[in-house]
């Protein structure tokens, strides 16, 4: 089993940057791919980015391409989401999730474990 805790969310001005962290428990962290999702008020949870266990593969939603970077440090059991050039429409609760396979990486159902989320608010 994997437990995930997100951190790093806060209020930031448009154009600013944030780095979110997803800290995981468990000794087999590198066996899990990690995805980031977000959910804005009144909207469905949506895929943001994902990274394979060994960092070989990364995937991004169109909304974050060129602005967001996902990375991981398996020695620290942590995955990061660096977000630059933030826009008000990036405002959402950001969740990280773990899965053994990225075959369904953009789907909520493709992940087995979820964190509680961290709030990101981008002011205009």
The pLDDT score that the predictor gives to residue 102 is 87
The DSSP call for residue 30 is: G
Task: Give the mean pLDDT of 71-94.
Answer: 97
Task: Give the separation between CA 14 and CA 85, rounded to whole angstroms.
Answer: 7
Cβ neighbours, 10 Å, residue 45: 16
- With CA atoms as reference, report the closest residue to 113 among 41, 27, 25, 47: 25
Answer for the pair 73, 53: CB distance below 8 angstroms, yes or no: no
Chain-centroid distance, C-alpha 60 = 10
Instruction: Give pLDDT, residue 27.
Output: 72
- β-bridge partners, 5: 23
Q: pLDDT, tens digit, for every residue of 32-68?
A: 999 999 999 999 999 999 999 999 999 999 999 999 9
């Amino acid at each position: 089993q994997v437990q995930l805790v997100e951190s790093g969310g806060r209020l930031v001005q448009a154009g600013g940057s944030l780095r979110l962290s997803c800290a995981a428990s468990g000794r087999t962290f590198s066996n899990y791919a990690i995805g980031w999702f977000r959910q804005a008020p009144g909207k469905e949870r949506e895929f943001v980015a994902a990274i394979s266990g060994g960092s070989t593969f990364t995937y991004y939603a169109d909304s974050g391409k060129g602005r967001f970077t996902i990375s991981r440090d398996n020695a620290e059991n942590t995955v990061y989401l660096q977000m630059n050039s933030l826009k008000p429409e990036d405002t959402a609760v950001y969740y990280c999730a773990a899965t053994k396979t990225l075959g369904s990486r953009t789907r909520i159902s493709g992940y087995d474990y979820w964190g509680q989320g961290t709030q990101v608010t981008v002011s205009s």
